[in-house]
């Protein structure tokens, strides 16, 4: 039998570590795929829990409105100031309105709303479902002939998918309004001209791409919240870990899907 | 010859979590209307066994039958119908903390059986009365209840749909001896009134002697002894003797990490 040299042992240890991480990644992808498949099946097969779905819609849509609205209005205001300050260097101030509306509808509206909702909703879903898991409330649902996917997961996914586009549409309007406020009151733009420039180059595709992103982000946020909550282990620490994982994975997936959807809509 | 199948029948049920084998060929029968208590130390797989019967966990191998039906082979509506036969009192009661007490008790009636909320509320208050709780408790939230009240509400929820089979997971854990005895009496009373078959797990021998017709001991993933409750003191099994007398010395070695 040959004995591995010390440097070989280091290489073997590193490679086995990389292999372990890769296998864990594949296992997680597999578990997530099965979870997603089951969740989607229960979204489209009866019974449907309309009251729960409406409650989730209110929680995701209505109660997220203040934080998303605040984010949007300040983003629109900053965007107007920044683009004016940059474009004035080459006398292109007239493009401020167009830059604000395209940036908000295509990118900043959906992405910033997604990030805010991920922090607010994804974390709370993971914590709620995770606590139900570790206190056997999900097992109790099963013993009461209630499918936990139908009762807990499906209403959240449907609500996320339905409410995020509405939330982003509102964020788009508020963001553009924020830019308008600064342009008219601080940068001395003519209100009618500013509004006319806002809509002059805006295409349906700009708004639709943002709304498609919003729907995907809504699905991703609620899916991550439910998945990590449903698979939490142990006690309070496990729920805490699930909450962190739900938020972090939502944020990463939002950025990845943002690129993919942008590529699909706007790649030349 | 009596050919009626047992209400619950387990044959060679195995379940492992990674390298840890928890159930290693469990064989157990529970007859119609019988009350069987499974005893055993912590971590011996008692809860896992019940979760396998309920379908919350899937056994790696073995047969689990309810009324002669292999539960591993049914899905969809048949499984829902089967679950309708079950009621369960969880160790921590597992009440839904976002719902008031009456809605916890009526949950299965409203959500699974489609009963009107008003009618379900009336049934819930009736079941709460059966476990010695007044109608005012129905409006409380689970966080406002004491340990004993929580167990009673859990029991009321378990019997609300008048199940044929009730599982009790450590019904007296965490309660003082008097409240534990109150819960035992309630369990016996409710089960007698319903005529239900019950399978309980506990380490509380006082509770086991009170609620069981028959006791089985689970050790190392197997049922190592079972018999009528009256026989447990003369079981002749050193594991059972050590367990019921609570001795540190004996064939059961507790792992104590220092």
Does residue A18 fall inside a structural domain?
no
Dihedral sign (CA A45, A49, A50, A52): negative
For B67-86, the pLDDT digits (tens) are 988 988 888 778 888 888 89
Residues in chain A with CB shorter than 8 Å from the CB of B54 are 139, 142-143
**pLDDT level of residue B8 (50, 70, 90 thresholds):** very high
Nearest partner of A76 among A198, A255, A166, judged by Cα: A198
User: How confident is the model over A67-88, as a mean pLDDT?
Assistant: 95
Identify the pLDDT of residue A209: 96
* A3: pLDDT strictly greater than 50: yes
More confident: B75 or A144: A144
Q: Which residue has the higher pLDDT, A44 or B179?
A: A44
Cα four-point dihedral sign B163, B111, B81, B39: negative
Q: Euclidean distance between the first and final Cα of chain A, in Å?
A: 60
| Residue A7 lies inside a defined structural domain of this protein | no
A-B Cβ pairs (cutoff 8 Å, strict): 53
Per the structure, how many domains does chain A have? 1
Q: Note the pLDDT of residue A234.
A: 83
Give the CATH class of B1-79+166-171+197-258: alpha beta
Does position A157 have pLDDT exceeding 90, yes or no? yes
The answer as to whether A32 is a domain residue is: no
Question: Phi, psi at residue A145, to the nearest 5°?
Answer: 65, 25
Domain boundaries, chain B: 1-79+166-171+197-258
What pLDDT does residue A9 have? Answer: 85
Output B41 or B62, whichever has higher pLDDT. B62
Burial per residue of B209-238, b for 16 or more beta-carbon CB atoms within 10 angstroms, e otherwise: bbbbebbbbbbebebbbbbebeebeebebe
Tell me the chain A residues in contact with residue B150 when contact means C-beta distances shorter than 8 Å.
none
Q: Does residue A12 belong to any structural domain of this protein?
A: no
Q: Are B173 and B15 in contact (CB under 8 A)?
A: no
Please compute the mean of the pLDDT values over residues A190-212 and round it to a whole number. Answer: 94
- The domain of A199 spans 54-266
Q: How distant, in Å, are the alpha carbons of A134, A192, A237 from that of A234?
A: 6, 60, 7
Which residues on chain B are in Cβ contact (under 8 Å) with A139?
51, 54, 56, 90, 94
Question: Is A260 inside a domain boundary?
Answer: yes
Over residues A38-77, the pLDDT tens digits come to: 999 999 998 899 999 999 999 999 999 999 999 999 999 9
Whether the per-residue pLDDT at B3 is higher than 70: the answer is no
Query: Between chains, do B108 and A142 touch, taking CB under 8 Å as contact?
Result: no
- Contact present, B232 and B220 (Cβ < 8 Å): no
- Greater confidence, B193 or A103? A103
pLDDT band at A132; cut points 50, 70, 90: very high
| Residue A5 clears pLDDT 80, i.e. is over it | no
pLDDT of residue B256: 57
With 60 as the cut, is the pLDDT of residue A1 above it?
no
Q: What is the pLDDT of residues A106-118, one digit of tens each?
A: 999 999 999 999 9
A190 belongs to a structural domain: yes
Cβ–Cβ of B94/A146 closer than 8 Å?
no
Residue A19 lies in a domain: no
Output the pLDDT for position B189.
84
Report the gap between the CA of A238 and the closest CA in chain B (Å). Answer: 18
Chain A CB contacts of B143 below 8 Å: none
CB contact under 8 A, B112 and A146: yes
Determine the residue of chain B that is closest to A141 in CA distance: B108
**What is the chain A residue with the closest CA to B80?**
A145
For chain A, give the DSSP string: -PPPPHHHHHHHHHHHHHHHHHHHHHHHHHHHHHHHHHHHHHHHSS---HHHHHHHHIIIIITTHHHHHHHHHHHHHHHHHHHHHHHGGGT-GGGHHHHHHHIIIIIIHHHHHHHHHIIIIIHHHHHHHHHHHHTTHHHHHHHTT--HIIIIIHHHHHHHHHHHHHHHHHHHHHHHHHHHHHHHHTS---HHHHHHHHHHS--HHHHHHHHHHHHHHHHHHHHHHHHHHHT--SSHHHHHHHHHHHHHHHHHHHHHHHHHHHHHHH--
């Amino acid at each position: 039998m040959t004995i591995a040299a010390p440097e070989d042992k280091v290489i073997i240890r590193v490679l086995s570590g990389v292999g372990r991480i890769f296998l864990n990644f594949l296992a997680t992808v597999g578990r997530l795929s099965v979870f997603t498949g089951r969740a989607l099946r229960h979204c489209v097969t009866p019974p449907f829990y309309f009251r729960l779905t409406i409650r989730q819609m209110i929680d995701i849509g209505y109660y997220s409105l203040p934080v998303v609205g605040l984010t949007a209005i300040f983003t629109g205001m900053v965007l107007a100031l920044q683009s004016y300050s940059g474009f004035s260097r080459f006398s292109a101030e007239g493009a401020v309105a167009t830059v604000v509306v395209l940036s908000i509808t295509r990118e900043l509206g959906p992405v910033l709303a997604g990030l805010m909702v991920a922090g607010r909703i994804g974390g709370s879903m993971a914590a709620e479902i995770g606590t139900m898991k570790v206190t056997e409330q999900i097992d109790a649902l099963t013993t009461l002939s209630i499918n936990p996917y139908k009762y807990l997961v499906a209403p959240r996914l449907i609500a996320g998918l339905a409410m995020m586009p509405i939330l982003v549409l509102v964020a788009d309007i508020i963001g553009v309004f924020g830019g308008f406020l600064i342009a008219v009151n601080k940068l001395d733009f003519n209100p009618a001209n500013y509004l006319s420039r806002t809509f002059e180059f805006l295409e349906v595709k700009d708004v639709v791409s943002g709304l498609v992103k919003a729907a995907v982000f809504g699905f991703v946020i609620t899916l991550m919240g439910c998945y990590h909550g449903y698979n939490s282990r142990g006690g309070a620490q496990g729920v805490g870990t699930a909450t962190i994982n739900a938020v972090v994975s939502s944020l990463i997936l939002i950025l990845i899907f943002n690129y993919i959807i942008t590529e699909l809509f706007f790649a030349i | 010859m009596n050919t009626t199948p047992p209400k619950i029948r387990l044959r060679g049920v195995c379940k492992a979590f990674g390298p840890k084998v928890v159930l290693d060929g469990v064989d157990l029968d529970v007859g119609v209307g019988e009350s069987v208590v499974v005893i055993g130390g912590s971590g011996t797989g008692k809860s896992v066994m019940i979760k396998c019967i309920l379908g919350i966990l899937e056994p790696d191998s073995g047969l689990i039958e309810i009324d002669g039906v292999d539960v591993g082979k049914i899905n969809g509506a048949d499984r829902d119908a089967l679950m309708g036969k079950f009621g369960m009192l969880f160790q921590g009661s597992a009440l839904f903390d976002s719902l008031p007490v009456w809605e916890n008790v009526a949950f299965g009636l409203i959500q699974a059986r489609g009963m009107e909320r008003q009618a379900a509320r009336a049934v819930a208050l009736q079941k709460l009365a059966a476990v010695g709780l007044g109608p005012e408790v129905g409006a409380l939230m689970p966080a406002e209840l004491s340990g004993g009240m929580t167990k009673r509400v859990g029991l009321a929820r378990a019997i609300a749909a008048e199940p044929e089979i009730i599982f009790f997971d450590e019904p007296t854990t965490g309660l003082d001896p008097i409240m534990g005895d109150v819960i035992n009496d309630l369990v016996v009373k409710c089960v007698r009134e319903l005529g239900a078959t019950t399978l309980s797990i506990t380490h509380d021998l006082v509770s086991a002697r009170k609620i069981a017709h028959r006791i089985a001991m689970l050790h190392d993933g197997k049922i190592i002894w079972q018999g009528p409750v009256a026989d447990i003191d003369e079981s002749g099994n050193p594991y059972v003797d050590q367990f019921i007398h609570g001795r540190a010395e004996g064939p059961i070695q507790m792992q104590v990490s220092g």
